[in-house]
Chains A and B, each alone.
Chain A
Amino acid sequence: MNCQNVKDLILTDYLDDQLDPQQKSAMEAHLKGCQECRVYLDAVRNVSTLPFEKAQHVHPPEHIWHNIKVAIENEHETADIVQETTVPGFWQQLGILKRLALGAVSLVLLMIAVTTVQKTSHRPIVKIDNTAQIEYFAYLIAGEDADDVTEDYGTMIEEYFL
């Protein structure tokens, strides 16, 4: 182990106590016989670790929590208002049976309307792609948020940093 290797380790693993016992012994054997490296170790320690170890930890002032609380409570209120005024809120209040009944009535009305149009119009009827239309209506009913991708800070680090 030469002086340059020792100095590199002083700046990192030795100073931060990250070496395994064998590496640590080798370092200490070198330091014992090398004054230059001992002086370097003292200098690095005095500048880059000791001042930080003695530093005081402070607590944030009281008003910070108050501001955070106000911000999150405002978000709650806004979310409640949006929920009350959106179409999904109405649909959610209806029971499954009511929704089925409403769907059946709508279907009958739609069939009557289509038949009427077929009888009265001379133009050829455009074939409707029912699946696409149902998806489109489902999207409208679910509201704009249905398409939003939820940001996920879960456990995958990269997802947060993206």
Chain B
Amino acid sequence: MDDLTEDIVLQAARGDVEAFENIYKHYSAFVYNVALRMLKNIENAQEVTQDVFVTLYRKLETFRFESSLKTWIYRITMNTAINYAKKVSRIQDRTVEFDANRYPAASPSKVISQDQLQKRIDALLSVLNPDQKACVILRSLEGLSYEEIASTLNININTVRSRLKRAREKMLSIKEEVMNL
């Protein structure tokens, strides 16, 4: 269980807020980064992060240590973030297509800044649906294996492959626009 002991998890499950803070410190960066990439909006990412940890606190007493805490937390995070992203896209009610005007081109330079890189990532993720986005984030940003992604998203490992393949084909289709950002 990484460096979190079972004792800390049991204490948190009994309602010990200090023990729960240890769990928060350990996993908050993962939850927040995933939410930020999935939703591309700081306020929404903060809301999802809060929702995930309040849910975890409520449900921790049902955790039975049969799988790792990490997988369990990743699963709750992805489920919350994907549902939130789908809800947001239903409200917006539109198919997201790449719009180069939303991402002003940068001055020509070999070395790109974090700001430019951020724009590229946002542009690349903007053409993906929430399920494809989740696979790309878990694989390329968080470094999970195909097996871990399948377990986290509760999907077949070949579904992971096909989502990544389609996602990368889509990202490749906007290569010219994105690399000029």
Contacts and interface: CB of A to CB of B under 8 A. Distances in A.
Interface of A: 8, 11-13, 15-16, 18, 43-44, 46-49, 51-61, 64-65, 67-69, 71-73, 75-76, 150-155, 157-158, 160-161
B21 A65 contact: yes
Contact of A48 (B58, B72, B140): B140
Given A18-B146, A52-B136, A65-B28, A153 B114 contact: no
Contacts of A43: 172, 175
Interface stretch (B3-11, B91-99, B102-110, B116-124): B116-124
A46 B179 contact: yes
Nearest to A69: B17
Given A59-B28, A64-B46, 20 more contacts: A11-B165, A12-B161, A12-B165, A43-B175, A46-B175, A48-B140, A51-B117, A52-B121, A55-B141, A60-B31, A64-B28, A64-B32, A64-B50, A69-B21, A71-B54, A152-B62, A154-B64, A154-B66, A155-B66, A160-B154
A127 to B, nearest CB: 43
B156 interface: no
Nearest to B173: A47
Interface of B: 15, 17, 20-21, 24, 28-29, 31-33, 36, 46, 49-50, 53-54, 57-59, 62-67, 72, 75-76, 79, 114, 117-118, 120-121, 124, 136, 139-141, 145-146, 151, 154, 161, 164-165, 167-169, 171-172, 175, 178-179
B62 A150 contact: yes
Contacts of A11: 164-165, 168-169
Contacts of A68: 24, 50, 53-54, 57
Contacts of B124: 47-48, 51
Contacts of B63: 153-155
Contacts, number: 125
Interface-central residue, A8, A54, A65, A68, by most chain B CB under 10 Å: A68
Interface of B is mostly: helix
Nearest to B125: A52
18 contacts: A13-B161, A44-B172, A48-B168, A52-B140, A52-B141, A57-B29, A60-B49, A64-B46, A68-B50, A68-B57, A72-B17, A73-B17, A153-B59, A153-B63, A153-B76, A154-B62, A155-B67, A161-B79
Contacts of B121: 51-52, 55
Given A43-B172, A49-B140, A52-B121, A64 B49 contact: yes
B46 A61 contact: yes
Nearest to A63: B46
Nearest to B145: A18
Closest 5 CB pairs of A and B: A52-B140, A155-B66, A60-B32, A157-B154, A155-B67
A22 to B, nearest CB: 18
Contact of A44 (B15, B36, B168): B168
Contact of A54 (B31, B79, B117, B167): B117
A154 B121 CA distance: 34
Nearest to A61: B46
A153 B74 CA distance: 12
